[in-house]
Amino acid sequence: MMRLRRSATAAALALGAVTVAVLGVASPASAHVTVNPKEATQGSYGRFAFRVPNESDTASTVKVEVVLPENAPVGSVSTMPVPGWTVAVEKRKLDQPVEVHGSQLTEAVSKLTWTAAADAGVKPGQFQEFPVSLGPLPKVERMVFKTLQTYSDGNVQRWIEEPVAGAEEPESPAPVLTLTAAAPSGAPTPGTAGGGAAEAADEDDDEAGDTGLATGLGTAGLVAGLGGLLLGGLAFARTRRESTPKP
């Protein structure tokens, strides 16, 4: 018994050590500033949110600055109100105009700065999302949003390092939005009517199969129950006959 207890204790300690090691590695990565969703289609419009976690144990996040990439200007940028925060929008002149709905735009948004009002900062152990609408998304493979996170104690976390394919993730990576090319005109895409009909047909087949299986099992169960009832009745009758005293 003592040997079993020692083995169980050792196993528990080993499991705890592995858990701590895994969480210790994963925790910093999960605390980075990110853009969500992380993927979109070139030429489309979308709603994105910059998710900002607070990594400080004592200070609050009071300002967030997001720089839009110069090599990928976006014609339309709008923000969603965040309670307790104000946003300032900075623009820049473009070397090459951007066409949006037939109009040539000569300037684009270059930076978004959110500032917290009194006591509205992101507290330790919390996070805040800052939603924006972007479009049409440029024809590039990715957009890198370099971000500065300012704390109430004056410290500034610079999320500005660009990830490199095949290399380890940097210590302070910038949020990255990956863009994929739009499907050719007329090509089937997920969610189209044809795909939806095929998926619906598959679901109907699955439901029909499930219904048939359930009916078969129910019938088999009913037959088994009736058989058991019949056998029980016969056994009861036989028992009564055997227990009845002969005249």
pTM for this predicted structure: 0.64
Residue given tokens 């978004």 in the structure block: 112
| Percent residues over pLDDT 70 in the chain | 62
* Per-residue model confidence (pLDDT) at position 110: 97
CA separation, residue 144 to residues 5, 36, 41, 112, 164 (Å):
54, 13, 15, 14, 12
Judged by DSSP in three states, 105 sits in strand
Cα separation of the two ends of the chain: 65
Which residue has 């528990």 as its token pair?
A: 12
pLDDT for position 97: 85
Query: What pLDDT does residue 22 have?
Result: 39
pLDDT of residue 241: 55
Which amino acid, one-letter code, is at 58? Answer: T
Q: Which residues of the chain have pLDDT under 70?
A: 1-30, 185-247
The pLDDT, as a whole number, for residue 104 is: 86
Per-residue pLDDT, 196: 42
